Structure 1
Amino acid sequence: MIYPSPLEHKQQQSRAPGRSLQHILFSAMLLVLAVHIACIFTIGQIWHISNTSERPISPALGAVYAHQSTSTQSSRSSSSPYAPLANQASGQNQSIDAYIDHMTQTQKIGQLLMLPVYTNGYNSVLNQPLQQWDIANVIIFTQYGGALMPSTQSGLAQLGHDLQAHANQRLIVATDEEGGTVDRLAPYYGSTPSPSSLAAKSDTKQVYAQARQNAQRLLANGINANLAPLVDVYQGGAIDQSRMFGSTPGDVIKYAGAFLDGLQQNGVQGTLKHWPGIGSAPVNPDNGLSSITHSQAQLNSVDFAPFRALLSHQPGMIMTTHVMVPAYDSHKPASLSPVLINQVLRGQLGYQGVVVTDQMEAGGLLQFMQQQGYSNPSQAIAEATVQAILAGNDIIECPMAPDRQAAVVNAVTSAVQSGRISQDRLHQSLQRIIALKARMGLISLS
């Protein structure tokens, strides 16, 4: 390497400031040129978009654009390390599908059934439905409107524990704890206020507090789901007015919503009932076949309104009942109607959660099935159970008698094996049930 002489080095140093100024001016010119080019490119893009936006976009492509836009906005507006909600939902669906893939057909069918339990303690009679049939849901029930069994609170807690311990699958354990005339826990804790008396206090905090206390008591006895609250709007029908939170949709939404929150925010899943609303029913569906004569406009503005409004509270389940609604379906009761379940409840209202039936031994359902030529109650309930699944129900409340339970299990199994209940239809209900059980902490999807 040849180094400059001291004189040349001194001359180079004296020329350095001039060279720096030239370099700065040259860099500035390049920057101006780059900005100019960028402006031209941006103007071109704007022109292209304005012309393209006038062209029709296919629905599929529009959905892609909307998804991309939503994802971009989500990632910009949140610093959360978690994936966007859509991706989380997709991931959960994959986990649910993987869980279902590992189930036997017997286990799958068992997820769609709810076993009524009326006993003073766990006994061998329960082994067949819980272990051989793999029934995965139970309701601690009464017989003919009597008190719950066991007769003591400690016995009830032991029963709740034993049911989970003996079952092959983790159970939704439910009961009807409405308060007032339907107060399953009253023998153990004393009576609780009816929905109408709670609403009469005009204090949602008191309603919430009562539901929270109910939830604590239910959980203490191994019960993780409550088939309440009623969201029927009282309109002079045969159902006891005290079981309802009001005679206007607004009151029902306000107070039933507080009750639902009090349950679900304290560990117990709630159930909105009785879809499609039976506040005007002239006969209780438990006793006989009844008809709701409202127009579609009336149904949407009054009877459906509380169900629609409370979907934002994410109810664990919605219960269908056995009542005719000719404005929508003049051929089948709501519990067996694809129109009222799939088209209206799921399609029109947008509910995508678990749908559970009211008791399948109800007088209204048996009367309807008798009209269809099913005079034998076991056969009537078995066939109605298959129709209820086809209509969109996810969990079917089984009959009490063991021979009728066997008829139901055999009918559903045969319907699945023959393809009458398709694998796709079965999978739809399983997805909803497993998602609910994961939300309840009963199963892990990881």
Structure 2
Amino acid sequence: MLASFAAVLTAAVAATGGQAAGPAAGLAVEQAVGQRIVGSLPGTTVPGALAQRIRRGELGGVILFSRNFSSRAQLQRLTARLQAERRRAPRPLRSTPLLIMIDQEGGLVKRLPGAPNVSPVEVGERGSAAFARRTGVATANNLRGVGVNVNLAPVLDIGFAGSSVRELRRTYGATAASVSRLGGAFADGLRAGGVLATAKHFPGLGRGPANEDERLNRIDVPLETLRRTDEAPFRDAARRGVPLVMVSTGIYPALDDRPAMFSRRVTTGELRREIGFRGVIVTDDLEVPAVDHLSPERKALAAVRAGNDLLLFCQTDAAARRGAAALVKAVRAGSLPRATVDAGADRVLALARRLR
């Protein structure tokens, strides 16, 4: 059973409130920044340079894709190697597992064979919270068997007519109530199986007609509607204790003209203050074509200033290194407070301690 998130977050919450220094305060700036970076692998083995960064304590997590998988045995060896390198990190980090993530929603978005053997739409058609929870447990068992400890699921976007998530069968339903009930039950099942769940894509992409990776969706609805409907499943997820929330690439004019994951009003204002979420906030992939007009440096700085804790670089190690270097440079120049970096790193480390 995973430890209580409220208990392990005590130090991080204290740090953000200025009451006490959290564990990140004892790290070098490169290490504190590194805990907020999630990198990727090009193939089925761990590159030497990436292993060295993990050993130096300069990487908080790794995201896996189908390109990293040839067999379950191979993937078990790969994740074991990643965690072995983490155990060689500086002492404050070596007992805290590396976050190893994957998108295992079911249906079209599924990186590994095995559970879930149904798409979110199929879960929605069943309409059974018990079935959704069993599906989450089975998915957790599948992922834990190969060393994955974070699932970037469930999708809590409402499947409005004409939306990409509905067309791609990534949604649990067409109402906030059904998405909350079934997506929340799937997340509960992941937790019961020992895998951390991630609610996505806040504040909701269920009205977006385009694939969020390819184009920036503009969700032009009044703020009252957004809060009452689109954000409702995320409010429920926060109450359930879902430990991670992914912020979308969409633009919500009622809140900001920038993509949500670069908007402080969305990430800090809506998710932290309005929703009351106290867990770890993660960006969508910072290398998707929808935002490739921005450099890795600009994206990393904008994401951290907006209030994201974890930055996903899903395509290239070079982009992850450039983003991290920009954050270190900004701290040393005084344009990014070290306390801001430490607060996010403390939340990430508290999250990882749940996996011990």
Q: Would you call these one fold, judging by a TM-score over 0.5?
A: yes
Give distance in 1, aligned partners of 2:318 and 2:273: 36
* Partner deviation per Cα, 1:260-288 (whole Å, 9 max, x = no partner): 00001221000000011001112222001
Residues 183 and 192, structure 1, Cα contact 8 Å, conserved in 2: no
Kept in 1: contact 2:37–2:320 (CA 8 A): no
Residue in 1 that maps onto 2:3: none
Deviation at 1:107, TM superposition (A): 1.2
- Cα RMSD after superposing both structures: 2.2
| Cα offset, 1:102, TM superposition | 2.5
Query: How high is the TM-score relative to the length of structure 2?
Result: 0.89
Distance 2:29 2:73 in 1: 36
1:292 counterpart = 2:219: yes
Higher helix residue share = 1
Aligned to 2:280: 354
Give the direction of change, closer, same or farther, for the CA distance of 1:191–1:215 in structure 2 (3 Å limit).
closer
The CA distance in 2 between the partners of 1:139 and 1:401, in whole Å, is 11
**Structure 2 residue aligned with 1:203:** 128
TM-fit CA distance, 1:125: 4.0
Query: Which residue among 158, 182, 187 is the counterpart of 1:255?
Result: 182
Q: Which one is further off, 248-257 or 274-283?
A: 274-283
Q: Residues 94-126 of structure 1, C-alpha deviation per residue, up to 9 Å, x if partnerless? A: 898353233222210110100112421223242
1:409 pairs, out of 305, 320, 324, with 324
Aligned counterpart for 1:314 among listed residues 218, 230, 241: 241
Change (3 A) 1:266 1:344: same
Percentage of pairs with the same residue: 28
Deviations 1:177-222 (A, max 9, x none): 1011011112xx3771001101211211111111101101111111
Q: TM-score, normalised on structure 1?
A: 0.71
Moved over 6 A (4+): none
Change beyond 3 A, Cα 1:96–1:129: farther
Which structure has more relative contact order (CA 8 Å, sep 6+)? It is 2
Residue of structure 2 equivalent to 1:431: 346
Measured at CA, do residues 411 and 101 of structure 1 come closer, stay the same or move farther in structure 2, by a change above 3 Å? closer
Deviations 1:199-258 (A, max 9, x none): 211211111111101101111111111000000001121233411100100000110011
CA contact (8 A) 2:116 2:139 kept: no
Q: Which residue of 2 aligns with 1:152?
A: 71
Q: How far apart are residue 403 of structure 1 and its match?
A: 2.8
Conserved in 1, the CA contact under 8 Å of 2:12 and 2:22? no
8 A Cα contact 1:210 1:259, kept in partner: yes
Amino acid at match of 2:54: L
Gaps of 5+ in 2: 1-5
Residue 110 of structure 2: which of 183, 193, 212 is its match?
183
CA contact (8 A) 1:215 1:262 kept: yes
Which residue of the other structure, out of 211, 218, 231, is the alignment partner of 1:304? Answer: 231
Taking structure 1 as reference, are residues 90 and 338 closer, same or farther at Cα in structure 2, changes over 3 Å only?
closer
Counterpart residue number, 2:148:
223
